[in-house]
């Protein structure tokens, strides 16, 4: 079993997503989104291969894996002892900046 680590930038993105959902759709929807994302992340500790490998996106020279939820992509890498969540990407955002943002991390 691997530990799950979330980098600071991904934590901030998670907070931003929840804040946006709360403002636009209310607290109940925010809670549902929170639960959905957490339920998708937690199994990665035992099944890190759940996400698909994206050979076009890299984090520090290593291809990333992407796990899709309804409104968010969970972007992570797998290490020997941990799964590192490096980005939570709101699917409503423009994908053309995804690579640029990821390269800045």
The pLDDT value recorded for residue 1 is 93
Q: How far is CA 91 from CA 73, 74, 80, in A?
A: 7, 10, 29
Alpha-carbon span 97 to 102, nearest angstrom: 9
The pLDDT value recorded for residue 100 is 80
3-state SS, residue 70 = coil
Q: What is the pLDDT of residues 40-57, one digit of tens each?
A: 999 999 999 999 999 888
Q: Nearest CA to 102 among 3, 9, 6, 4? A: 9
Under DSSP, the state recorded for 94 is -
Average pLDDT over residues 69-92: 92
Which one is the CATH code of 3-103: 3.40.50.300, 3.40.50.720, 3.30.2310.20, 3.40.190.10?
3.30.2310.20
Stated length of the chain: 105
Reported as a pLDDT band with limits 50, 70 and 90, residue 103 is confident
Q: What is the pLDDT of residues 84-94, one digit of tens each?
A: 999 999 888 88
Strand order of the β-sheet with 82-90 is 3-6, 82-90, 72-78, 62-68, 52-59
The Cβ of residue 3 has, within 10 Å, a number of other Cβ atoms equal to: 10
Alpha-carbon span 47 to 66, nearest angstrom: 13
Reported as a pLDDT band with limits 50, 70 and 90, residue 70 is confident
């Amino acid at each position: 079993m691997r530990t799950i680590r979330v980098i600071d930038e991904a934590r901030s993105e998670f907070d931003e997503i929840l804040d946006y959902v709360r403002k636009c759709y209310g607290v109940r929807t925010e809670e549902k989104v929170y639960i959905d994302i957490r339920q998708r992340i937690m199994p990665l500790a035992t099944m890190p291969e759940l996400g698909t490998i994206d050979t076009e996106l890299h984090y520090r020279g290593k291809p990333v894996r992407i796990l899709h939820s309804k409104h968010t992509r969970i972007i992570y890498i797998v290490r020997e002892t941990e799964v590192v969540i490096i980005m939570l990407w709101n699917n409503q955002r423009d994908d053309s900046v995804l690579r640029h943002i990821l390269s800045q991390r």
